[in-house]
Structure 1
Amino acid sequence: MTTHDLANALEALSVNEHQHAVKGIKRGIERESLRIQDNGAISPQGHPKGVGSALTNGHITTDFSESLLEFITPVSESSTQTLKQLKDLQKFTLEKMGDELLWPISMPCFIEHQDDIVLAQFGSSNTGQMKTLYREGLKNRYGSMMQAIAGVHFNISFPDTLWQSLHSLQKSNASLQDFISEGYLSLIRNFKRELWLISYMFGASPALCNSFLQGRKTDLPFKKLGKGTLYLEVGTALRLGNLGYTNSAQSSLRVMYNSLDEYVAGLKKAINTPSEIYGDLDDYKSENPKQLNKNILQIENEFYSPIRPKRNAKSGETPTDALLRAGIEYVEIRALDVNPFSEVGIDIEQIHFLDVFLTYCLLKDSAPMDWKEQARSTENLDTVVNQGREEGLMLNFNNTQRSLQTWGDEIFTQLTDVAKWMDNAYGVNYYSDTIKRMATWIHNPELTYSGRYVSQLKESGLDNGHFALALASKYKQSHADTDYSEFLKPWLEQQVVESNEAQAAIEQADTQSFTAFLDAYFDGK
């Protein structure tokens, strides 16, 4: 995508021919949540049978462990519909969980030992066994504790009408799909540059149960609360920091976002390069495998990134092969903590903000991003994760020091213009209202999610675990008191039946040994 000024882009898109081009944004949400016992400890029970097969139910599954549920909404143009669907999925699952609860925050509940975190099981098929062995590899590479962290993934795609308008206005000679892929990569680069803002606004994991550390040393200036709570007074999102869902072993991977070929080449190199760190762990060719293979990444999904370019893959197709076949279809935002102030883990105002912020990332200038600039973006994220609400905090802006408040004000000035354009296109006012309200958070850090969380935690006088447990009980009751609205219960029950039948069919259709299956899989990657 050619470079262009944001104001000029908005002006060009405001003429009659293009003014409604942005209408039709599509979204989908994946919300993770640990199942916990009513005493706040992680559940030792298997995946609830009443919700069907974790392998084949497209809406209710597991992530790393048997106790880490994942709720997946269909793609929709209505954000209110998406949230209602998410609520229905959680309501249905809670009904199948007995006395268990859904943990309402990102950092895990009390876990005595990482062996209490049981790997997710997907049945006896080769595909199911591969999923579990991949998780065995994650456990042996990084430890299970890191995998017990929950987040919210926000998927978004822009309508063809917007891409066609931009393609025309920029007089691009590229094919429309190549132009779309370039546009999403521009968005990704800008998102990474200002990722710190997402952590500042919506980071909601400034506290954790000290069981999470499992004796690990840390230099973070933790304060103590109650019997076992550690928290950062001005921190925002431990989940996104060095203690959280990161992988220092991957720090040598130079996955870049300046072209689709460059991005794919970086990932393919990682999944085909033997690892010096994990080479001693037995792989699938051994009698007792501890990982899928001995490469830097077992498969592409192991690559930890706050944002990913995506394309729906065909059966048996790897994510990068899908991208090479047909280009980028949507982007997946992976930087959101579970929102503890929402019973479903994310709320409508966050979605409105993300709509505006990601549109802004798409429309503004996006120069190529070299490795040093990527490192600066990570440095800024780390600073905000640990000190984001500190008065006068300075960030690295193109190798010069700039205060978070100054930079944040500049971003919100531009977001205000984007929101006004989007309101005009949709015939609404909620985009501008959201940006106006959230702009005040830049100078009032106590209004951010992490600020509110620390304040309520201290006011309650409770340990982090007891505070979260009270929220979990409150939300379970709220779900019980609310009727289904988007997914009727008989339809959800039918998904259970069909998913169990689908898993059985997959298992019966297997003709290869597990080793032969993986030989063929890795030969074709």
Structure 2
Amino acid sequence: MLDTKCTSTLALIDPELALNLKSIVRGVEKEGLRVTPDNTVAQDGHPRALGSTLTHDSITTDYSEALLEFITPTSTSIDNTIEYLDRLHKLTLQNIGQQVIWPVSMPCSLNGDESIPIADYGTSNIGRLKHVYRQGLAVRYGRIMQSIAGIHYNFSLPDSFWQAYQQKMQAQSLTSSESLQDFKSAQYFSLIRNFRRYSWILHYLFGASPVLDQSFLNGRETHLQKFGERTFGLPYATSLRMSDLGYQNTAQQDLHVSYSSLPEYVKTLGEAIHQKYPPYEKIGVKVDGEYRQLNTNVLQIENEYYSDIRPKRVTHSGEKPIAALRDRGVEYIEVRILDINPFTRVGISASQMRFMDAFLLYCLFSQCPEVSDSCCPEIRDNQTKVILEGRNPDLTLRWGDHEIPFKQAATELLSAVQEIAGKLDQAHGADLHSTAVQEQLAKVENVALTPSGQVMQRIQNGEEFLEIARDQADQFAQQFSELAANVDFDQTLNEMAETSLRKQAELEQSDTLSFDEFLAAYNQA
């Protein structure tokens, strides 16, 4: 299943260079709905005690006022990242009364679009921009799609690694004598292209949404099977979140955003941002004095482009992400396809993070030719197959002009990732990364070990989706309540909350333009 045209640079990673891999920088963004005791979406506003969702660095909201988003600081320590997520969950639960944090990607019981309140970011121009953008998503795709939660995994390597790696690549005539930043950007895009080739394995290993509650369908016809009274799904599915039931976007189907290089990516994404779309023009921008969307383009902003993985750069105040990439290059990558693991209280485990590091390094060290347009359907087909029937024992994947058994493809890929894990173990002086890969190989041998397999086992035992999710939510809430207090952390977060509220007030008082003027300038930038 591995591309025979690829050449590995793993041999360049000697023990000295491998030591730099100890300094991989990670960050996690974890979403989760606030859910009431009757398993419906919370309708109250974001708790003031948690600060301003506009300006808080660690606790904000995604699409909905009820869709929490926890953001960890970047760290070289996986254990510290997990602990930070633990602490954010504990602190938040202490401030939301009888509500729980929904521990799965697919939402709780819904009552149509109106049951999902759009996030409110205050009256500043930037706050209103964020709200109107979400209103635009509502009129374009509906709010139900936006109630899905996930985990984003941010990954970068230190400059000390890039400098040494560039020198070794140049010595082997594998790269030109470009600037360090240009080299980093090119290598991150190579990683992204390979990620798209091989990300089907992540759907299998970490997909955790084989079923959903009937209310998510909202009366739509479906090809899903019915399990129990109100649970629908597919027997071999891994991640309905990533299927066309989840983040579907027909308007984007004809977009061609190129990952061949940073300049091409910026160019093609920029064109999409400014491309008019007649169906959105019919909706209108401002109707009867109320904004419905930011503009009538295919994409209101870059973030509307639903990609599995993104090149990223921390932005300056008021700067667009695409401009930051264009001007200063890629700083890190963001993996966006991970379901929340309902059997891990913060949604992701340390072992999963170790595997992700090894997998992403495999994507980096495999120097492969660019994906041609003719290969893109094959990539999409393989992803769709694994999403909808990844645990089917007869599943095959496309590879060129032939089919290959899924189990063979997965074993071959994970065996290659195991080599990278060995380098990470060398650097850390432990075998934790190899153990993490072995855990994933065990899932290939036994589908019941996958998160989706565990969910389906409980469904087959007679439980409903809502019952499983609620049971896990209650268990986790109890576990968080029993965590020993961390006075220093709570004090720091309380200070962050107060500071964020002050910052929001300052923003609201400092605006000099009307929102109409602000939006016109934003759309022209």
- What TM-score do you get using the length of structure 1 for normalisation? 0.96
Where do 1:289-328 residues align within 5 Å?
Answer: 289-328=291-330
Q: 1:233 aligns with which of 231, 235, 248?
A: 235
Deviation of the 1:39 alpha carbon? 1.3
8 Å Cα contact 2:106/2:241 also seen in 1:
yes
8 Å Cα contact 1:37/1:100 also seen in 2:
yes
Q: 1:210 aligns with which of 203, 209, 214?
A: 214
8 Å Cα contact 1:81/1:486 also seen in 2:
no
8 Å Cα contact 1:282/1:288 also seen in 2:
no
Say whether 1:174 aligns with 2:178: yes
8 Å Cα contact 1:256/1:371 also seen in 2:
no
Per-residue Cα deviation, 1:451-484 (whole angstroms, up to 9, x for no partner): 111112322x221112111111111111111024
Residue identity in the other structure for 1:12: L
Query: C-alpha distance in 2, partners of 1:394/1:487?
Result: 52
For residue 87 of structure 1, what is the aligned residue in structure 2? 86
Range with bigger deviation, 16-25 or 437-446: 16-25
Q: 2:374 aligns with which of 367, 372, 387?
A: 372
For residue 443 of structure 2, what is the aligned residue in structure 1? 441
Query: C-alpha distance in 2, partners of 1:110/1:25?
Result: 39
Say whether 1:127 aligns with 2:126: yes
For residue 494 of structure 2, what is the aligned residue in structure 1? 493
Query: C-alpha distance in 2, partners of 1:124/1:437?
Result: 49
8 Å Cα contact 1:64/1:120 also seen in 2:
yes
Residue identity in the other structure for 1:497: E
Secondary structure at the counterpart of residue 33 of structure 2: strand
Range with bigger deviation, 228-237 or 242-251: 242-251
Q: Taking every aligned residue pair, what percent have the same amino acid on both sides?
A: 39
Range with bigger deviation, 330-339 or 477-486: 477-486
For residue 353 of structure 2, what is the aligned residue in structure 1? 351
Deviation of the 1:369 alpha carbon? 1.5
Aligned pairs, number: 518
For residue 192 of structure 2, what is the aligned residue in structure 1? 188
8 Å Cα contact 1:25/1:156 also seen in 2:
yes
Where do 1:49-448 residues align within 5 Å?
Answer: 49-171=48-170, 172-219=176-223, 222-284=224-286, 287-448=289-450
Q: 1:8 to 1:105 in 2, by over 3 A?
A: closer
Query: C-alpha distance in 2, partners of 1:336/1:356?
Result: 16
Range with bigger deviation, 333-342 or 210-219: 210-219
Deviation of the 1:485 alpha carbon? 4.8
Query: C-alpha distance in 2, partners of 1:362/1:238?
Result: 28
Secondary structure at the counterpart of residue 279 of structure 2: coil
Range with bigger deviation, 108-117 or 275-284: 275-284
Q: 1:194 to 1:424 in 2, by over 3 A?
A: same
For residue 10 of structure 1, what is the aligned residue in structure 2? 10
For residue 45 of structure 1, what is the aligned residue in structure 2? 44
Secondary structure at the counterpart of residue 290 of structure 2: coil
Query: C-alpha distance in 2, partners of 1:465/1:56?
Result: 33
8 Å Cα contact 2:37/2:99 also seen in 1:
yes
Deviation of the 1:403 alpha carbon? 1.4
Query: C-alpha distance in 1, partners of 2:386/2:86?
Result: 31
Secondary structure at the counterpart of residue 193 of structure 2: helix
8 Å Cα contact 1:256/1:370 also seen in 2:
no
Give the CA RMSD over aligned residues. 1.7
For residue 35 of structure 1, what is the aligned residue in structure 2? 34
Per-residue Cα deviation, 1:80-125 (whole angstroms, up to 9, x for no partner): 1001001111111111100001101000100011111111000011
8 Å Cα contact 1:284/1:293 also seen in 2:
no
8 Å Cα contact 2:237/2:389 also seen in 1:
yes
Deviation of the 1:392 alpha carbon? 2.0
Secondary structure at the counterpart of residue 278 of structure 1: helix
8 Å Cα contact 2:151/2:340 also seen in 1:
yes
Per-residue Cα deviation, 1:437-459 (whole angstroms, up to 9, x for no partner): 21121132111111111112322
Deviation of the 1:9 alpha carbon? 2.3
- Please, which runs of 5 or more residues in structure 1 have no aligned partner? none
8 Å Cα contact 2:8/2:366 also seen in 1:
no
8 Å Cα contact 1:88/1:486 also seen in 2:
no
Secondary structure at the counterpart of residue 119 of structure 2: coil
Deviation of the 1:398 alpha carbon? 2.5
Deviation of the 1:391 alpha carbon? 0.9
8 Å Cα contact 1:206/1:232 also seen in 2:
yes
Q: 1:252 to 1:286 in 2, by over 3 A?
A: farther
For residue 518 of structure 2, what is the aligned residue in structure 1? 517
Query: C-alpha distance in 1, partners of 2:484/2:459?
Result: 31
Query: C-alpha distance in 2, partners of 1:243/1:487?
Result: 43
Secondary structure at the counterpart of residue 19 of structure 1: helix
Query: C-alpha distance in 2, partners of 1:315/1:263?
Result: 22
Secondary structure at the counterpart of residue 212 of structure 2: strand
Deviation of the 1:237 alpha carbon? 0.0
Per-residue Cα deviation, 1:193-242 (whole angstroms, up to 9, x for no partner): 011100000000001001101111123xx332332111211100000010
Secondary structure at the counterpart of residue 54 of structure 1: coil
Secondary structure at the counterpart of residue 70 of structure 1: strand
8 Å Cα contact 2:6/2:368 also seen in 1:
no
Residue identity in the other structure for 1:192: R
8 Å Cα contact 2:295/2:523 also seen in 1:
no
8 Å Cα contact 1:53/1:503 also seen in 2:
yes
Query: C-alpha distance in 1, partners of 2:262/2:377?
Result: 20
For residue 173 of structure 2, what is the aligned residue in structure 1? none
For residue 459 of structure 2, what is the aligned residue in structure 1? 457
8 Å Cα contact 2:203/2:239 also seen in 1:
yes
Secondary structure at the counterpart of residue 173 of structure 1: coil
Residue identity in the other structure for 1:517: F
Per-residue Cα deviation, 1:362-407 (whole angstroms, up to 9, x for no partner): 0012211223323321211111111110012011112421111111
8 Å Cα contact 2:234/2:388 also seen in 1:
yes
- Please, which runs of 5 or more residues in structure 2 have no aligned partner? 171-175
Query: C-alpha distance in 1, partners of 2:355/2:503?
Result: 38
Secondary structure at the counterpart of residue 362 of structure 1: helix
Secondary structure at the counterpart of residue 234 of structure 1: coil
Query: C-alpha distance in 2, partners of 1:510/1:239?
Result: 39
Secondary structure at the counterpart of residue 181 of structure 1: helix
Residue identity in the other structure for 2:342: P
Residue identity in the other structure for 2:193: R
- What TM-score do you get using the length of structure 2 for normalisation? 0.96
Secondary structure at the counterpart of residue 396 of structure 1: strand
Query: C-alpha distance in 1, partners of 2:157/2:212?
Result: 36
Residue identity in the other structure for 2:408: T
Residue identity in the other structure for 1:205: S
Deviation of the 1:4 alpha carbon? 11
Query: C-alpha distance in 2, partners of 1:376/1:385?
Result: 14
